[in-house]
Amino acid sequence: MSYISVWKPISVNQSNRPVLETDEHDIYVRDGVGIYQGKSKILERQDGRIYLTNRRIIYFDNKVNSNSCCVYLTEISHGEPIGRFLRSSPKVKLYLRKGTIESSNNNNNNNNISNNINNDNNNVSTSSPSPPPPLSSTSSLSSLTLKPTKVTWTCQICSYNNADYFTGSQLDTGAVKLKCASCGIPPSIPYIRRFLVAPTQTSNADQVTDRQPSLEVNSSGSSSNLKSSKNTIECPRCTFINHSSLTTCEICGSYLLQTASLELKTNSIVAPSSSSQTASVDIELEDGIEAYTNNKAYIKVSFRKGGGEIEFNNLVNTAIEDIKWDELTKRGGVNENAVKLNQQQKPLVSTGKAVRAGISGLEVKNELTRKTNEIVLQDSLYDLDLLMFKFEDIMKISESFKPLLKQNSLVITNRRFSTNSIIPELNTSKKSNIFHQELSRHLSEYLDSYELVKQTSMITTQDLFANYNRYLTMSQGFGTELISALDFNKAISMFDTLHLPIMVKKYERSGLLVVVRRSEGLHDNFIALVRKFLALHQQLLASNFIEEEIADEEEELRGGTSVIKHARGCNIKEISEEFSWSYNITIEEMERCIQSGTVIVDQHISGTFYFVNDIW
Amino acid sequence: MKYDKVFTYLIKTTCTIAPSMAEPFIFPKIHSFPPLYTKQPNLTVQEKQLESWSDLILNYCQHYRVTSLSQAGLPLTSQNSQLKLDQLPSIFENKSIDRQVNDEFKSIIFKYLVNKLHKAEYINVKKKDEGIFVWWKPLLEWASCLYNHMNDTGQTGTVFTIFELTSSNELGLPESLRNIDSSVMIRILRSMVKQGRTQLIMEDGEIGGVKFI
């Protein structure tokens, strides 16, 4: 069975960085990385960068962008670092979660919907049992018994649905003592065993029927019903077939929406941005065959430049844990606003001195709990009051800052910060050796979306430095670490080597460094562009003034009906705005224009104006 | 509508011009073009700009028959005695567009007129700020005009004073030669001496009389 399908294509932006999904952010980046499928190298994917985000592990090829691919963290169960050994570089082994692959393959298949529901119900949490590949049912069973599984079982006495984590072997050895959470009666082991095995082998129709006696509602032919209508959801607990718009089962009241949404989620994860990309990447292995040690599917990330494997591994594992936790909170499995009270409670209970027996003892106990409750409630209300006061204070302060803030936000909108999409922030640590490359790419992204808005746009490096740092504080708050001039200069010098769509241009005369878009021949054309703009401007003014002139006959006859007479040139500011250059760039460019003789100057006490040279 | 206005304007202007005054000089369009007043940094453009200025000055002077200009560009002398020189429109200033030529650029323009075009001369080569003679009619032409007139009227061989040649009207000089400023006349006569057409009779280091040969 092939696990190559875990690799998904990614989209790449102009600045040679992967395009992240919404809410996705970089955690870790490293250069000089190759990837393996099992034991063998994946061809043409041996020199790249690895990006760890909170959703994916992205391999970004340094040579061919289209070779880049990613693995969703949901497909990975855990990572394991492998140290350097002789000539082999340190690696991180990432074990795949087998079940997800299988279910993704079957997702389109209607027959399996009921299985999927069962599966999903069971595998939402930690490691999920996979529908066993037909060849090796024994091995799958053994793997089943190895990991603790969430098993939902119904109490035979009170028919309460219990959920517990345990393995088959634990059950046999009596390592787990099961007890109904509702009535406290322990179930019989053979009865539980049924639940342990049943969900794993549900691909068999027999097993489904096997399960039915244990459930209260006998829904024979439910699977056929499912086949016929997609708009129904079978309750995972009682198998009652509910209407799709219901969130809870009509009979037993267990959640339905989760299973449905979960299924949707897995679907969306399997095929990201469905239409534009084909869901698979063509991957060739060096050895031609997929082979795994210990019969567990895994991929490997090799750190050619050495080091970092432990850090990467830790980050991957925490990222996976985070995803699990998120999933759990989404399911409502976490008691969100719960507060630990044991510290307060315990001493109070223990100070209940000699716990008396009998009715008086119970009364004392009751009294104590009531008191603790009272204290807790009082405390919390008092805290709440304090919080409200603080809140009012803060509101007052923020009110006093309002005038300042407003001005600022105006400036920002003027500076077109608010217009475009937000660039994902840079999350590489300054110590890492890829930092300058990443900074360079990030700068390019920033320029692309904010500064170089026009084809003709230019910005001096000084302005860019200031604006970029300002942008960092704007987008990431005041705690952000700013970029130092040294780092900035290094990043800027890398534009060429990284083949970014921008370049640095130097004005020979003043030594002014500007950043421009990389485009052929455009920069020699500036003179012509400026000329065109000035001419247009003059025409516009002239046509305006001719109308005025007609009204003002004195003027008209003294100076003759001249167009030139009223022409007013453009000043630096107007030209800068037109081409979105900073002023010193415009001055520089205008000097070039004057040098070439296409533009003439008018210096006056009110400013310097530029005209097209039509006369001389 | 527009023509009505033009018409009324024409009536107004013709009435306001004193009969003694000549037609006002109509400045070319370029006189209202702001960059004209700034020295252009580009040298080839500047050359052409100076040409424009020279043309303007020569036309202006010819129109008002101004023969010399001060360093500031104000007319010093004119053949037209009825002109009020201080009321003539200034060449180097255009009040309607609020522009004027600075002193540095003025001297550059004069230098160009004198050295490049040879259409002007410094009144005093050692003291350039005294102004220039503007030869809108070349010096030689002036000389030949004067000589031809003397020759035609049979006044060769007679001795004249400078005053007679410039201020009195007894010689029957044509309109174009009348009322030439004495300093200008001396320049003309000096050039004729070189051609051997006149003799200057010196008195105490000054010209006492002139004899056309």
Do B88 and B119 fall within a single domain? yes
- B116 and chain A in contact, CB less than 8 A: no
Helix (H, G, I), strand (E, B) or coil at B138: coil
Q: Do A611 and B33 touch (CB under 8 A)?
A: yes
- Assign A63 a pLDDT band (cuts: 50, 70, 90): confident
The string of pLDDT tens digits covering residues B125-178 is 888 888 888 888 888 888 888 888 888 888 888 888 888 888 766 677 777 787
Cβ atoms within 10 Å of B199's Cβ, excluding its own? 14
Select the residue of B33, B49, B99 nearest A567 (Cβ to Cβ).
Answer: B33
Asked if residue A317 lies in contact with residue A79, where contact means CB atoms within 8 angstroms, the answer is yes
Confidence category of residue A602, pLDDT binned at 50, 70, 90? confident
CA distance A602 to chain B (A): 4
Please say which residue of B90, B112, B134 terminates a domain: B134
Same domain, B130 and B187: no
ipTM value: 0.72
> Which of A556, A563, A564 should we substitute to test contact with B (largest number of B Cβ atoms within 10 Å)?
A564
pLDDT at A381: 92
Query: The tokens of A17 are what?
Result: 């960085």
User: Is B100's Cβ below 8 Å from some Cβ in A?
Assistant: no
How far is Cα B25 from Cα A270, in angstroms, rounded to an integer? 86
Q: Does the beta carbon of A567 lie under 8 angstroms from any beta carbon of chain B?
A: yes
Q: Which residue of A558, A569, A616 is in closest CB contact with B45? A: A616
Chosen domain end from B75, B110, B134: B134
- Domain count within chain B: 2
Average of per-residue pLDDT across A140-158: 65
Do B67 and B143 belong together in one domain?
A: no
CATH number at residue B157: 1.10.10.10
Same domain, B118 and B169: no
Residues B104 and B35 in one domain: yes
Under a CB-based contact definition with an 8 Å cutoff, are residues A271 and A279 in contact? yes
Q: How far is CA B86 from CA A91, A113, B89, in A?
A: 96, 105, 8
User: The tokens 């019989």 sit on which residue?
Assistant: A188
Considering the domain architecture, whether residues B114 and B162 belong to the same structural domain is answered as no
Q: Contact B38/A601, CB-based, under 8 Å? A: yes
Q: Classify residue B36 as exposed, middle or buried by CB count within 10 Å of its CB (0-12, 13-18, 19+).
A: buried
Alpha helices by DSSP H, listed for A447-525, are: 461-476, 485-493
Question: How close, in Å, is residue B7 to chain A by CA atoms?
Answer: 10
A479 against A25, higher pLDDT: A25
Q: Same domain for B57 and B113? A: yes
Return the minimum-mean-pLDDT range out of A176-180, A225-229, B201-205.
A225-229
Highest-confidence segment of A206-220, A379-393, A422-436: A379-393
Residues of B in contact with A563 (CB under 8 A): 29
CATH of the domain at B86: 1.10.10.570
Is A213 a residue whose pLDDT tops 50? no
Using the Cβ of B34 and the Cβ atoms of chain A, whether some distance falls under 8 Å is answered with yes
Question: What mean pLDDT comes out for the span A306-331?
Answer: 84
Q: What is the pLDDT of residue A101?
A: 45
Q: A550 touching B, CB under 8 A?
A: yes
Sequence-distant contacts of A503-507: CB under 8 A, at least 24 apart? A504/A461, A505/A458, A507/A588
What does pLDDT average to over chain A?
71
Burial environment of residue A440 by CB neighbours within 10 A (0 to 12, 13 to 18, 19 or more) = buried
Give residue A374's pLDDT band: very low, low, confident or very high (50, 70, 90): very high
Q: Does residue A346 surpass a pLDDT of 80?
A: no
pLDDT at A482: 82
Give the pLDDT confidence of B10-58 residue by residue, as tens digits: 444 433 333 345 578 888 888 888 888 888 888 888 899 999 999 999 9
Q: How do residues A70-115 score in pLDDT, each as one tens digit? A: 888 888 888 888 888 877 888 888 888 775 444 444 444 444 444 4
Predicted confidence at residue A372, as pLDDT, reads 93
Does residue B6 surpass a pLDDT of 90? no
Q: pLDDT tens digits for A43-57?
A: 888 888 888 888 888
Residues B19 and B56 in one domain: yes
Cα–Cα distance measured from residue A83 to residue A310, given in angstroms and rounded to the nearest whole number:
8
Residue B88's domain comprises 3-134
Q: In this complex, do B34 and A557 lie within 8 Å of one another by their Cβ atoms?
A: no
Separation between Cα atoms, residue B119 and residue A173, nearest integer Å? 123
Residue with the two structure tokens 């057409």: B197
Higher-confidence residue of B15 and A545: namely A545
Alpha-carbon gap: B28 to the closest alpha carbon of chain A (Å):
8
| Per-residue confidence (pLDDT) for residue B22, from 0 to 100 | 57
Residue A274 pLDDT greater than 80, yes or no: no
Query: Is B38 in the same domain as B128?
Result: yes
pTM over 0.80: no
The token pair at B15 is: 């009435």
Query: B99, B134, B169 — which closes off a domain?
Result: B134
pLDDT tens per residue, range A235-246: 878 888 888 777
Residue A457 distance to chain B (closest CA, Å): 26
A554 in B contact zone (CB under 8 Å): yes
Residues B188 and B208 in one domain: yes
For chain B, where are the E strands, in sequence order? 66-69, 75-78, 93-94, 99-100, 120-122, 132-134, 159-160, 198-203, 206-212
Are residues B91 and B153 both part of a single domain? no
Q: Maximum distance among all alpha carbons in chain B? A: 69
Question: Domain check: are B130 and B145 in the same one?
Answer: no
A13 band by pLDDT with thresholds 50, 70 and 90: confident
Which residue in the set B2, B29, B37 is minimally distant from A550, CB to CB?
Answer: B2
Q: A593 CA to chain B: closest CA distance, Å?
A: 10
Q: Per residue in B82-136, pLDDT tens?
A: 777 778 888 888 888 888 888 889 989 999 988 888 888 888 888 888 888 888 8
In this structure, the number of other CB atoms found within 10 A of the CB of residue A566 comes to 19
User: Which of B32, B41, B52 has the CB atom closest to A594's CB atom?
Assistant: B41
What are the residues whose beta carbons fall under 8 Å from the beta carbon of B86, sequence distance 6 or more?
Answer: B74
CB–CB contact A616 B6 (8 Å): no
H/E stretch holding A122 reads helix A113-123
- The candidate with the shortest Cα–Cα distance to A80, out of A291, A310, A349, is A310
CB neighbourhood size of A172 (10 A): 12
Select from B29, B38, B41 the Cβ nearest to the Cβ of A562.
B29
Lowest mean pLDDT among A121-130, A519-528, A601-610: A121-130
